[in-house]
């Protein structure tokens, strides 16, 4: 079922959903099931599965030469989505990114997921490689998430690459995109970032999932600004509890967000990581309750493949 259909069927009740990481190489799907099993108590209608592109390493090749070697540390998203859907009978939402793919390879992956019965995507530009200062697409690939949205939207109309006529049997995907309440770090200002988000919506996006944030006022203002410029599709807030003392320093530079002073002071005052997690979980519980009272369609939790903090939040909120 499409995410938008789940939201309509909920009839204004806030849904519970989550995002997981593919397990590291050497682990099995059962390691991921161990994370998901306790959270199924809260009947998430969908589970997002992130995609992690290859990393580049350089090895000596003799004669003073260096060989560029792509390395993948996690298995692909397609098989994991198929396993989750079959095991739990929920919708698995794969993340598709621009980086590392040509347009033709993207179309092939989409056809494979269509064949497997996947109905939803979260479409992202993706991050730059660790050795790159800025994102660079593969040759023949997309530069922006909006171009990826346009490709999937065209497939929904039966328009495929290198085909002169539209096919009768089009795909029918529900398209999700990312939103940044504190703006994307590459945008010069929030207004510019919102215009790019509106462009993704105009290209065919059906719903928005936000980057994590810790101040609900930031989300409320972002939502208002989206509505003011004509974005009417569902906006799903993404949340992550603080789970350790170091995260108040590590999360901001990685995800380009602010930690409210009250939260950072409480975490810094915690005697250890367990006490810091207690602070983080309680903060996320209060965030969640306020967002539900506000009437958000769904709360989307970034688990980082750790069940316990999100489980504790869900037991207090849902």
Please, are residues 152 and 204 in contact by the beta-carbon 8 Å criterion?
A: yes
Give the single-character DSSP code of 276.
Answer: H
Token output for 254:
């990685």
pLDDT at 287: 98
pLDDT at 79: 86
Closest CA to 135 of 148, 126, 123: 126
Please, are residues 71 and 56 in contact by the beta-carbon 8 Å criterion?
A: yes
Q: Which residue has the tokens 């529900």?
A: 174
Closest CA to 6 of 44, 60, 37: 44
pLDDT at 72: 57
Residue of 19, 107, 182, 278 marked catalytic: 19
Query: How many Cα neighbours within 13 Å face the side chain of 38?
Result: 15
pLDDT at 243: 96
Please, are residues 118 and 94 in contact by the beta-carbon 8 Å criterion?
A: yes
Clarify whether 282 is annotated catalytic: no
Please, are residues 50 and 22 in contact by the beta-carbon 8 Å criterion?
A: yes
Q: Is 61's pLDDT higher than 70? A: no
pLDDT digits (tens, 9 = 90+) for 183-202: 999 999 999 999 999 999 99
CA distance 309 to 21: 16
Chain center to CA of 250: 19
pLDDT at 132: 75
Q: Which domains does the chain have, with CATH numbers?
A: 3-317 (3.20.20.220)
- What mean pLDDT do residues 299-306 have? 95
Q: Is 222's pLDDT higher than 60? A: yes
Chain center to CA of 190: 20
CA distance 92 to 178: 17
Confidence of residue 240 (pLDDT cuts 50, 70, 90): very high
pLDDT digits (tens, 9 = 90+) for 73-93: 555 788 899 999 999 999 999
Q: Is 130's pLDDT higher than 80? A: no
Q: Is 256's pLDDT higher than 70? A: yes
Neighbouring CB atoms inside 10 A of 156's CB total 15
More confident residue, 135 or 317: 317
More confident residue, 78 or 273: 273
Strands 235-239 and 298-302: parallel
| Average confidence score pLDDT of the chain | 91
> Can you give 165-229 as a three-state secondary structure string?
CCCCCCCCCEEEEEECCCCCCCCCCHHHHHHHHHHHHHHCCCEEEEEECCCHHHHHHHHHHHHHC
The torsion of the CA quartet 238, 39, 43, 285, rounded to 10 degrees, works out to: -50
CA distance 290 to 201: 27
CA distance 184 to 175: 20
Distances (CA, A) of 283 to 198, 215, 290: 31, 10, 11
- What mean pLDDT do residues 157-173 have? 84
pLDDT at 60: 63
Mapping DSSP to helix (H, G, I), strand (E, B) and coil, where does residue 95 land? Answer: strand
Closest CA to 152 of 197, 195, 97, 198: 97
- What mean pLDDT do residues 226-252 have? 97
Please, are residues 203 and 231 in contact by the beta-carbon 8 Å criterion?
A: no
């Amino acid at each position: 079922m499409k995410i938008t259909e789940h939201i309509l069927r909920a009839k204004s009740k806030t849904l519970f959903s989550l995002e997981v990481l593919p397990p590291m190489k050497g682990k099995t799907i059962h390691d991921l099931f161990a994370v998901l099993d306790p959270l199924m108590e809260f009947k998430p209608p969908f589970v997002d599965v992130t995609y992690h592109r290859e990393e580049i390493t350089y090895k000596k090749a003799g004669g003073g030469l260096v060989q560029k070697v792509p390395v993948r540390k996690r298995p692909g998203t397609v098989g994991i989505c198929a396993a989750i859907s079959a095991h739990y009978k929920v919708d698995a939402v794969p993340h598709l990114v621009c980086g590392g793919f040509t347009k033709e390879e993207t179309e092939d992956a989409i056809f494979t997921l269509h064949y497997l019965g996947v109905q939803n995507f979260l479409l992202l530009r993706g991050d730059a490689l660790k050795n790159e200062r800025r994102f660079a697409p593969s040759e023949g690939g997309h530069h922006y998430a909006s171009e990826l949205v346009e490709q999937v939207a065209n497939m929904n109309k039966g328009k495929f690459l290198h085909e002169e006529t539209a096919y009768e049997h089009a795909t029918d995907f529900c398209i999700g995109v990312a939103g940044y309440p504190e703006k994307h770090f590459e945008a010069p200002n929030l207004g510019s970032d919102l215009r790019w988000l509106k462009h993704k919506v105009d290209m065919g996006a059906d719903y928005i999932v936000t980057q994590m944030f810790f101040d609900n006022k930031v989300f409320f203002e972002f939502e208002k600004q989206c509505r003011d410029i004509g974005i009417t599709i569902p906006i799903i807030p993404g949340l992550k509890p603080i789970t350790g003392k170091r995260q108040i320093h590590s999360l901001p530079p990685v995800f380009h967000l602010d930690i409210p002073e009250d939260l950072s002071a409480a975490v810094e005052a915690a005697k250890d990581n367990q006490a810091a997690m207690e602070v983080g979980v309680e903060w996320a519980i209060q965030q969640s309750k306020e967002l539900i009272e506000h009437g958000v369609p769904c709360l989307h939790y970034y688990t980082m493949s750790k069940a316990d903090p999100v489980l504790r939040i869900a037991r207090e909120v849902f």
